[in-house]
Structure 1
Amino acid sequence: MDSKQIKFLTIAISLLLLFVSLTQDAIVVNYSGEVRNDSALGYFLIGAIAFLGGGLFEEIIWLANPLCLLAIIYFLKNNEKAVLLSLIASGLAISFAFWSEILGAESGALAKIVSFGLGYYLWASSILVLTTGILLNYKMSLKESLQS
């Protein structure tokens, strides 16, 4: 498989997983005794302004999305920065799985995370697929440059 095919498959599968994740629930939370399923699309859209409601840490996790976008752009340009950006995004996405609470309301009240939904796992998978494809492509390009 050549570099162009790896790039195409990596980006296509990653974006497909991302778009499917947005149709699912991201997490189940218990906020003030009420258990609710929170939409991945809601988090994706609201995440950019989470800091306005006091969600600094939520904002940091959400930054995985623009980091992935930048990684894709650098990946297409064969820039090595794609590796670092995708690794940081992967770290952020995985670290969210260890959270036990999340901002439940703009008042600053926290909601207990009961479980993670399919939306979270698909979102994290999309980032891990992107990172894996970028690393594989980078490894192949290093191998080709050493053979030349």
Structure 2
Amino acid sequence: MIKEKFKSVHFWLVVGSFTLYISSMFFTPFYVANPKADIYSNSFYILLAGWMAILGGGLIPTIIWLANPLYFFGGFLILNKEKFAVIPVTLSLILAIYFTSLNSIMDGESGATTNITALGSGYYLWLLSIIALFIAAIMTFFKKAPSSNFS
């Protein structure tokens, strides 16, 4: 009974995490001081193009963007019941939280920046999805492996 409950909670955490992640794509991740920088109003665009910040000299935003592939890699590992999943998901969570320390973000290809004025609901949904996956990864890490009897 307890084993079934664990599987159920574990499963729903992963499903809930993915649902929150997909939901976050429909909301604004953060607001900037430059009203012409409307590219930041779309989380899905940032997911697809965020890695390109490195081309304009944005090393830190690119490193923070790596939270996304780490999230997906960790989710894949959790679904395969790998205890190792806790490492990429923890790194993803650290990077997602580190984003709050940024005061500005690149405003274009030239490398100019604009101030971040507020975090949007897209960011908070994204962060909650990573937290839910982190809890699932912790549960996977501490789950006991089935014992095998070779008698």
TM interval, shorter chain, is 0.7 to 0.9
Counterparts of 1:58 and 1:78, CA distance in 2: 31
**Greater Cα radius of gyration, structure 1 or 2:** 2
Out of 128, 132, 141, the position equivalent to 1:129 is 132
Partner SS state of residue 141, structure 1: coil
Whether 2:107 is the aligned partner of 1:107: answer no
Partner SS state of residue 131, structure 1: helix
Residue type at the aligned position of 2:97: I
Please say if residues 27 and 39 of structure 1, whose CA atoms lie closer than 8 Å, have aligned partners that are also in contact: no
Q: CA deviation at 1:89?
A: 0.3
Counterparts of 2:56 and 2:10, CA distance in 1: 37
Q: CA deviation at 1:74?
A: 1.3
Residue type at the aligned position of 1:2: F
Whether 2:31 is the aligned partner of 1:28: answer yes
Counterparts of 1:41 and 1:35, CA distance in 2: 15
Q: Runs (4+) of structure 1 moved beyond 4 Å?
A: 33-37
Which residue in the other structure is 1:138 paired with? 141
Please say if residues 37 and 107 of structure 2, whose CA atoms lie closer than 8 Å, have aligned partners that are also in contact: no
Partner SS state of residue 115, structure 1: strand
Which residue in the other structure is 1:44 paired with? 47
CA offsets 1:11-70 (integer angstroms, 9 cap, x no match): 211111011110000110013x75756221121111132212322211111111110111
User: How many residue pairs end up in the alignment?
Assistant: 142
Partner SS state of residue 108, structure 2: coil
Larger deviation, residues 88-97 vs 37-46: 37-46
Out of 91, 96, 100, the position equivalent to 1:97 is 100
Which residue in the other structure is 1:2 paired with? 6
Q: Which runs of 5+ in 1 are unaligned?
A: none
Larger deviation, residues 133-142 vs 89-98: 133-142
Whether 2:68 is the aligned partner of 1:65: answer yes
Counterparts of 2:41 and 2:106, CA distance in 1: 12
Residue type at the aligned position of 1:113: I
Please say if residues 28 and 35 of structure 1, whose CA atoms lie closer than 8 Å, have aligned partners that are also in contact: no
Larger strand proportion, structure 1 or 2? Answer: 1
TM-score w.r.t. length of structure 2: 0.84
Alignment RMSD (CA, Å): 2.0
